[in-house]
Amino acid sequence: MEISALSIGVDIATSVAIVGSAVTFMYNQRRQNKTEAVMKLHEQVRTISIQQLQEELETLSRQYTHQIIAPTQKILNIGRLSHRLLEQDAPPERAREVLIDSNRFEETQRSIADLIEQTRLFIKEVHAAKYRIFPVLYNLREGAALIQEYRECSEALIEASNQLGPQHTSLMKETLAFTQALGASGEDQQALKMQWLRMAFSIAQDDDYRSWVDLFIEDGKEPAYWEAMGASDIELKQELCGTVALRIMRMLEQDPGRAACQQILMVHKPAIALTTQAKRLLVLLSASIAWLSCKAEDRTSDTMEQLKLAFASKELLALESELY
């Protein structure tokens, strides 16, 4: 009887152990399945996020390379030519022939206007894309910082586009019109000279043309000149503006090609700044895609920053040294 009780006790203990093991196995299996399901869901979200960012990057990069680069390249090419003419101190006839008589100066105006318009369309697309991009970036560990950087890039792009405003093309148009007027023939030379002087006055007192007009003002006196242009002292304004207007008229009469070189080179820097800001957005999206493509366990606290620097480097997208 004692043996039977012992056997029963052992059987019960064994059964309990078996049941316990089974329960533990089922619990662990259930927890593993749940973990795998969560990981699978995260993987699906990550895949969808990558696809979404890739689509946005493809749209923006296509617009950048096809629409912004072309007019920028034309501006930079004519800028290099203008720089050589100034550096070589080209004779007035040569500079005029190369830039004005060849219509290159007029073509540059069209390229600038084209770049301004294409940038406007690009900015419009950038703002539309944020409603699709921000929900994706929000899921990243550095999501808030990336969203803020996207906003800053967008604002910097707008500011850069403002620096390449219509004031550049307006000045070029006035310069070309002036040059053509100087070549007009007529019996009343005095009337023609008064017309030229009025055109020069118009340029000399226009604050939109300040960067070029400053070249005709004595060094250090630029602030006082523009302050006088905005003041109510008509006599002082006419005296200062008259002197500068005569200098402008003399250059446009004697060496219009040099004036064209100067104005073209003033567009060179803002054009590069604009395309760099547009490209910075593409670099940010590229780095974000690379970050999402990394497995979670492979990421470190500074990986995203490293990726941005890597994609901006000369080895990859060459943010500061290449247009494309």
Q: 158 and 12 in one domain? A: yes
Residues 241 and 99 grouped into a single domain: no
- Distance, in Å, from the CA atom of 253 to the CA atom of 271, rounded to the nearest integer, reads 29
Closest CA to 239 of 249, 225, 221: 225
Domain membership of residue 319 (yes or no) is: no
The answer to whether the CB of 57 falls within 8 A of the CB of 64 is no
- State residue 300's pLDDT score: 54
Domain count across the chain: 2
Model confidence at 167, pLDDT cuts 50, 70, 90, reads confident
Note the pLDDT of residue 23: 52
Q: Residue 40 — very low, low, confident or very high, per pLDDT cuts 50/70/90?
A: low
Answer yes or no: do 43 and 13 share one domain.
Answer: yes
Q: Does residue 224 sit in the same domain as residue 305?
A: no
pTM of the model: 0.78
* 45 plus 72 within the same structural domain: yes
Domain that holds residue 19: 3-165+268-312
Q: Sign of torsion, CA 89 93 98 104? A: positive
Residue tagged 């500011």 (tokens): 159
List the structure tokens of 256: 């219009």
165: left (phi over 0), alpha (psi -120 to 50) or beta: beta
Asked whether residue 299 is assigned to any structural domain, the reply reads: yes
Q: Do residue 236 and residue 280 come from a single domain?
A: no
The last residue of one of the domains, among 238, 257, 276, is 257
Residue 267, CA atoms < 13 Å, CB-side half-sphere: 33
Q: Are residues 106 and 223 in the same domain?
A: no
Cβ(166)–Cβ(174) below 8 Å? no
Q: SS3 for 316? A: coil
Tokens of 66: 């096809």
Within-domain flag for 15:
yes
Q: What is the pLDDT of residue 187?
A: 58
The reply to whether 263 falls in a domain is: no
Specify if 281 maps to a domain: yes
Is 221 in the same domain as 194? yes
Three-class secondary structure of residue 90 per DSSP: coil
Q: What is the mean pLDDT of the chain?
A: 83
273 pLDDT band, cuts 50/70/90, is: very high
Structure tokens at 218: 């004595």
8 by Cβ neighbours in 10 Å (0-12 / 13-18 / 19+) ranks as exposed
Ranked by mean pLDDT, the top range of 34-48, 164-178, 189-203, 286-300 is 164-178
At 16 the pLDDT is 52
User: Where is the domain boundary, 212, 237, 257?
Assistant: 257
For residue 51, is it within any domain? yes
Same-domain status, 245 and 180? yes
Segment among 69-83, 193-207, 249-263, 264-278 with least mean pLDDT: 193-207
* 160 and 181 together in one domain: no
pLDDT tier, 44 (very low <50, low <70, confident <90, very high otherwise): low
35-41: long-range contacts, CB 8 A cutoff, minimum separation 24: none
324 domain residue, yes or no:
no
| Residue 62 domain-assigned (yes or no) | yes
| Rounded Cα distance, 192 and 185, in Å | 9
Same domain as 183, residue 293: no
Let me know whether 233 and 282 are in one domain: no
Closest CA to 88 of 98, 100, 74, 75: 98
* CB-count burial class (<10 Å; 0-12, 13-18, 19+) for 63: middle
Give the pLDDT confidence score for residue 226 in this predicted structure.
Answer: 93
Q: How far apart, in whole angstroms, are the C-alpha atoms of residue 282 and residue 190?
A: 57
Identify the DSSP state of 321. T
